[in-house]
């Protein structure tokens, strides 16, 4: 099963794997973990595996779903597709052979644009050298604070046509982000009942860095109890900038 997405920067989601566990503070209020618990209680078969307790807290069980691999082939009209909104394709429990199968599908459906996002940047770089990167795959890493800015260094090692940074949830300042070789940046605050506030100067700093580096800037939300609580305008306007596919 695949769903239309309410995420502002994509159109649909495709989850060839489900499950994850916490790997850094940006995961503390993970929407996927909350949703997975609800889906498990509803009896959804993709969410019945329990996750292991880790040093960062509990997750929900990583499961690969070969039966979902052909879903994008069934979509007739071109779509922008977020891969694994409920997982991380480069999680250590996902076999490399399955990752390669996911890339095979993306390569064989060039009518779609795929957006893949990971926090496991080191594994991305390790496997990335063995991937035949299709032009229709955008590869991104999540960076929630300056401490995790190193993930962009691993991202630069892969031969994706579009490399992007998701600074969401932005939980601290990122005042020194190397945007060399990066084609797009998304910024946004955390949402949910336990959301951590995002300071305006954190967003302003990223915006200024993007303008200086010529990187398109997408501002997703200020965050709050719900994603739309505080809107998504910055300095009186909405920033929905996307990668320039011609120059990438």
Query: For the chain, what are the domain ranges?
Result: 3-238
Contact 149, 174 (CB under 8 A): yes
Q: What is the tens place of the pLDDT at every residue in 203-235?
A: 999 999 999 999 999 999 999 999 889 999 999
Give the per-residue pLDDT at 2: 53
Contact 207, 217 (CB under 8 A): yes
Q: By three-state DSSP, how is residue 47 classified?
A: helix
**pTM to 2 decimals?**
0.92
> How much of the chain, in percent, has pLDDT values that exceed 70?
92
Q: Which of 27, 9, 182 is CA-nearest to residue 119?
A: 27
Q: What is the tens place of the pLDDT at every residue in 55-74?
A: 334 457 888 999 999 999 99
- Could you tell me which residues come within 8 angstroms of residue 82 by beta carbon, excluding any fewer than 6 positions away? 5, 7, 10, 12, 13, 14, 115, 117
Residue 17 to residue 1: CA distance in whole angstroms: 12
Residue 197 to residue 223: CA distance in whole angstroms: 8
Give the per-residue pLDDT at 55: 37
- Say if residue 41's pLDDT is above 80: no
Q: By three-state DSSP, how is residue 116 classified?
A: strand
- Could you tell me which residues come within 8 angstroms of residue 76 by beta carbon, excluding any fewer than 6 positions away? none
Ranges of H-type helices in the chain:
31-41, 71-74, 96-107, 121-128, 151-155, 200-213
């Amino acid at each position: 099963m695949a769903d239309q997405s309410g995420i502002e920067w994509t159109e649909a989601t495709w989850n060839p794997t489900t499950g994850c566990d916490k790997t850094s503070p940006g995961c503390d209020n993970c929407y996927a973990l909350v949703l997975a618990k609800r889906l498990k209680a509803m009896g959804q078969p993709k969410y019945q595996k329990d996750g292991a307790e880790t040093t960062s807290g509990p997750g929900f069980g990583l499961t690969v779903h070969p039966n979902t691999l052909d879903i994008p082939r069934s979509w007739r009209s071109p779509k922008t597709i977020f891969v694994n909104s409920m997982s991380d394709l480069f999680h250590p429990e996902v076999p490399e052979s399955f990752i390669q199968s996911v890339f095979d599908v993306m390569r064989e459906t060039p009518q779609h644009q795929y957006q893949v996002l990971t926090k496991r940047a080191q594994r991305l770089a390790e496997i990335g050298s063995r991937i035949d990167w299709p032009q229709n795959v955008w590869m991104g890493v999540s960076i929630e604070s300056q401490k995790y800015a190193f993930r962009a260094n691993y991202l630069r090692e892969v031969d994706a046509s579009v490399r992007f940074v998701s600074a969401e949830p932005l939980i601290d300042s990122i005042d020194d982000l190397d945007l060399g070789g990066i084609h797009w940046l998304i910024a946004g605050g955390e949402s949910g009942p336990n959301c951590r506030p995002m300071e305006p100067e954190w967003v302003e700093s990223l915006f200024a860095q993007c303008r200086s580096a010529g990187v398109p800037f997408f501002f997703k939300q200020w965050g709050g109890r719900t994603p739309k609580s505080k809107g998504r305008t910055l300095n009186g306007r909405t920033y929905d900038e996307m990668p320039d596919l011609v120059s990438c």
